Structure 1
Amino acid sequence: MDPVVHRRMVEPGIGLLELDRPERLNAISPQLLGELHAALAELAEDRECRVVVLTGRGRGFCAGLDLQESHGGDTVPDRMRLQKRIASLVPALRALPQPVVAAVNGPAAGGGLALALASDVRIAGESARFGNAFVRIGLSGGDVGVSWLLPRLIGASRAFELLLTGRVVDAREADRIGLVSRVVPDADLRESALAVAREIVANSPFGVRMTKDVMWAQLEAGSLAAGIALENSTQIAASETADQTEAARAFLERRPPEFTDS
């Protein structure tokens, strides 16, 4: 059986994670689910990869769970195990030390929407569509972390409307409401995502990792004081690294820094 998730380095420090079920708009099958979990576990230990670009091959980013595939038993415990297995992709993406840039092509629906929301940066091709239609088929719009992530990205008012109606958002609206960083022609999508990845790779590895950790942690911080305390500790830790000294020296000498992740 050919793999349906591909992970490879495309440039120094930049890895590409590509879903490859284009005939099903990269919908989540048991095979894709297992391979994606395995790829994320490998990335978490990969010190050579410093940024990940996540995308789907063909006309879709990820159309959610593939209902034409058998996902195991049909009892409530079976379905709960599957639900937890899919939902655990979101914290796995969050826990990666590398920032994840989602290059969203075509539909990002259901679990596919969750993958996009759990990424750190989202860039949309003009064909991108974002939706969570569970409420239209008698289920809750709260699924796979979407009801936690979406209001933190676009605000509670807009998130309520989208999840209660199940309405699909096109790329232009996604840009207007702050769901994505930018919209580009589909032909330019991958290169645009790589350009953002290059900008990230140009920064110190430890500083980038701490920035990702702090930004996600601040979404759950209970107070301004707690948030500042977290910033203080990570900032002082970063100031003691060799890379911070190198960055300061390179700035004074007007040259690119040479980071060693130390």
Structure 2
Amino acid sequence: MSETNERLDPALAAGNRRQLAGYRATHFLWEVREKVATVTLNRPERKNPLTFESYAELRDLFAQLKYADDVTAVVVTGAGGNFCSGGDVHEIIGPLVRLKAPELLMFTRMTGDLVRTMRACPQPIVAAIDGVCAGAGAIVAMASDVRLGTARSKTAFLFNRVGLAGCDMGACSILPHIIGQGRASELLFTGRALGGEEGERWGFFNRLCAPEALLDEAQALAREFAQGPTFANGITKTMLHQEWAMTVDQALEAEAQAQAICMMTEDFSRAYHAFVAKTRPRFEGN
């Protein structure tokens, strides 16, 4: 048990701290090393599509990450040279055609809740994107905090190509913040694929990597996040999300309060004393 947990009242810790390194995933792969979790969508023969079950498990897992103290950063990737081809045509799209409105709304709310839990968990999420990244796969990439891609990656918000609106799983809210309103409009109206080099120019990808180095670079970046002041990083993620709906004055006040809270942490004190001693601070997330 971590030093932080030992300082908590046991009853408080029991309801607000949990260990997820040993989690056993059913519908994807899950591995934790050095407090970095790697989620691997693992249906390579179909380019890693999502199913009703994998949507629900991902939603619930990211919700649990809010309480995890043994995972401080997350990598999401796909197996077999592709990221995710979206909702499975046979296991999701086919059944949706036969459902009534209440069940359809149940599904669309579930998919939106996956994005909601990804944005709400305090851990930075790094998406490692190679090959096909389409539909809901593009949304999972979009909902991540940082995206690393390859020159051969193809990202497509292809909802309009199946007769649906581009306003799926928060795309009309989040995507314009990443690449701008005009570029987001083009992708959502056409459903065309965004190539890797174009995606880097547009700011969708933070950088491009060689396919064989992609996962290593994503995990290295996640480890860098995990070794930082994780409580403060969680505050940064929260403010990046919440300030989309704030005026500048509201943001300035919210950041003043958030920073004052971070100044009360032991990590802040450790950083000061390490600077004075000319050593590197060892952050512990408290």
Matches within 5 A, 1:146-225: 146-221=171-246, 223-225=247-249
- Distance between the aligned counterparts of 1:261 and 1:179, measured in 2? 29
Structure 2's unaligned 5+ residue stretches are 1-24
Q: Can you list the C-alpha shifts for 1:77-132, whole angstroms capped at 9, x where unaligned? A: 22221111112110110001101011112111111111111100000023311111
TM-score normalised to structure 1 length: 0.94
Secondary structure (helix, strand or coil) at the match of 1:228 reads helix
Whichever residue aligns with residue 251 of structure 1, its letter is: F
Question: Does 1:25 find its partner at 2:50?
Answer: no
Whichever residue aligns with residue 6 of structure 1, its letter is: L
Q: Are the equivalent residues in 1 in contact too, given 2:138–2:155 (CA < 8 A)?
A: yes
Of all paired residues, the percent bearing the same amino acid is: 32
Secondary structure (helix, strand or coil) at the match of 1:88 reads helix
2:78 to 56, 67, 70: 56
Secondary structure (helix, strand or coil) at the match of 1:3 reads coil
Q: Are the equivalent residues in 2 in contact too, given 1:7–1:39 (CA < 8 A)?
A: no
Q: Are the equivalent residues in 2 in contact too, given 1:4–1:21 (CA < 8 A)?
A: no
Secondary structure (helix, strand or coil) at the match of 1:58 reads coil
Question: Does 1:235 find its partner at 2:281?
Answer: no
- Distance between the aligned counterparts of 1:206 and 1:42, measured in 2? 17
- Distance between the aligned counterparts of 1:115 and 1:90, measured in 2? 7
Whichever residue aligns with residue 232 of structure 1, its letter is: A
Secondary structure (helix, strand or coil) at the match of 1:256 reads coil
Q: Structure 1 residues 38-47 or 175-184, which shifts more?
A: 38-47
Alpha-carbon distance, 1:53 to partner? 0.6
Q: Which runs of 4+ in 1 moved over 3 A?
A: 70-73
Alpha-carbon distance, 1:182 to partner? 0.3
Question: Does 1:4 find its partner at 2:27?
Answer: yes
- Distance between the aligned counterparts of 2:132 and 2:68, measured in 1? 29
Q: Structure 1 residues 36-45 or 19-28, which shifts more?
A: 36-45
Whichever residue aligns with residue 41 of structure 1, its letter is: A
1:45 to 67, 70, 75: 67
- Greater fraction of residues in helix: 2
Whichever residue aligns with residue 257 of structure 1, its letter is: P
TM-score normalised to structure 2 length: 0.86
2:271 to 234, 243, 247: 247
Q: Are the equivalent residues in 2 in contact too, given 1:101–1:123 (CA < 8 A)?
A: yes
Q: Are the equivalent residues in 1 in contact too, given 2:30–2:39 (CA < 8 A)?
A: yes
Secondary structure (helix, strand or coil) at the match of 1:69 reads helix
2:140 to 115, 118, 122: 115
- Distance between the aligned counterparts of 1:87 and 1:127, measured in 2? 28
Whichever residue aligns with residue 208 of structure 1, its letter is: N
- Distance between the aligned counterparts of 1:261 and 1:164, measured in 2? 43
Whichever residue aligns with residue 128 of structure 2, its letter is: A
- Distance between the aligned counterparts of 2:165 and 2:90, measured in 1? 21
Alpha-carbon distance, 1:137 to partner? 2.8
Secondary structure (helix, strand or coil) at the match of 2:89 reads coil
RMSD (CA atoms): 1.6
Alpha-carbon distance, 1:35 to partner? 2.2
- Distance between the aligned counterparts of 1:161 and 1:179, measured in 2? 14
- Distance between the aligned counterparts of 1:132 and 1:205, measured in 2? 32
Q: Are the equivalent residues in 2 in contact too, given 1:175–1:181 (CA < 8 A)?
A: yes
User: What corresponds to 1:65 in structure 2?
Assistant: 87
